[in-house]
Amino acid sequence: MAWVHSRQEHRIKYKPGERERLPHLIAHEFEHIRMIESAVRAGRNRLFATNRETEEHARRSISNDMRKLQRVIADERALQQYLDMLLRGLPDQLFNMPLDMTIEYHLHRERPYLYSSQMISIHHMMQEGVHGLEPNIQRSTPSRIWQASVALNCALAFFADFLYNGATDYADAYRKSGQYHNGEKLFHIWRRHIESEAPGSEYDLVDAFARELRLERWYIWREDRTAPEDLTPTVAADADAQAVFLKEREPAAVMYCLSALKKFNDMEPQAIRAVLAEIKQLHQHGLDIQASDLKYTLTSLPGNFTGLQLLCYLYVGLQMTDTNRDMGVNLDGAYAQAKRMYERGM
């Protein structure tokens, strides 16, 4: 995250290859960033962590399986390394699984151009999850960890079947695992959550999953002291950098301007002025034009909008009603292209 490292930009690291999945995987990480930023702005962001106390509790929880593991892994050092991996892995899975389900839900609803890439990725995730059902994996994994991990993977399978409206039946693979009903319970916890989702509520969902799996003492929450003002990159205040950004986003600006031309054409002048007045007020307080999430709403116009979209609407509206007004931004090129497209009936 940019503000954590005092940078101007967020960074997503990925391995090249698997080109079919890559668009979805990168979009998934963008959605993580959006969710964290929304939680920070709402003052509800939290940091998931483990400490010595949680790790000691986790080790005690699997103490009954130590003899079984020692038969599988005789070397003490290798056994401890393996245990460390498992004891880190389950909390990570507990934290990420409910968030990933929420992210995939939003991507499926809001990013239809990612359908194919997302489906390939989800199928890959389903195959990885089923791998945990293999007898040798079960034999070499402490029962407590294996059961919780399988239940989480099963919940994700139920979610995938829900996402694709029953066209898949990934959950059936878990029917004889002993964790089928636990996975179904976790999925229904997620389903109830998504109906009342709010910024930062995904962390409450993690707690709900943990209670169901009796993993409450396997992790802690740390306070995030990031303030909303820390999220605003200083580059946004620089006029030259803003001009570069608008030039880079000109294709998107063209489509936003075209949308504004179409929308305003069907509205009365008084209604247009009401829309412009609202956007002007937001603009005076600083529209976040670099954020891609639909974070703005207007009382005078239905829908959710990005900052750049509202900036384009304001620009088009002023061109139609007050051509002498200088907004301090240059969208001339985008507006000219949009106007030509509009006049051609596009």
State the pTM of this model: 0.66
Residue of 26 and 72 predicted with greater confidence? 26
Q: Across the chain, what does the average pLDDT equal?
A: 88
Distance CA 307, CA 145 (A): 45
- Indicate whether 285 pLDDT > 90: no
pLDDT band with cut points at 50, 70 and 90 for residue 269: confident
Most confident of 137-141, 149-153, 253-257: 149-153
Q: What value does the mean pLDDT take over residues 39-48?
A: 92
> Which pairs from 58-67 meet CB under 8 Å and 24+ separation?
58/87, 58/90, 58/91, 58/218, 59/83, 59/87, 61/144, 61/218, 62/87, 62/142, 62/143, 62/144, 62/145, 64/143, 65/142, 65/143, 65/144
Domain boundaries, the chain: 2-228, 234-343
Four-residue CA torsion sign, 86, 92, 98, 100 = negative
Residue 42 has phi, psi (to 5 degrees) of: -85, 0
Mean pLDDT of 282-289: 74
Helix, strand, or coil here: 223?
A: strand
pLDDT tens for residues 231-256? 765 544 455 667 778 888 889 899 99
SS3 328: coil
Closest Cα to residue 220, out of 8, 41, 20, 52? 52
Cβ(90)–Cβ(218) below 8 Å: yes
Q: Regarding predicted confidence, which is higher, 92 or 71?
A: 92
DSSP letter for 167, please. S
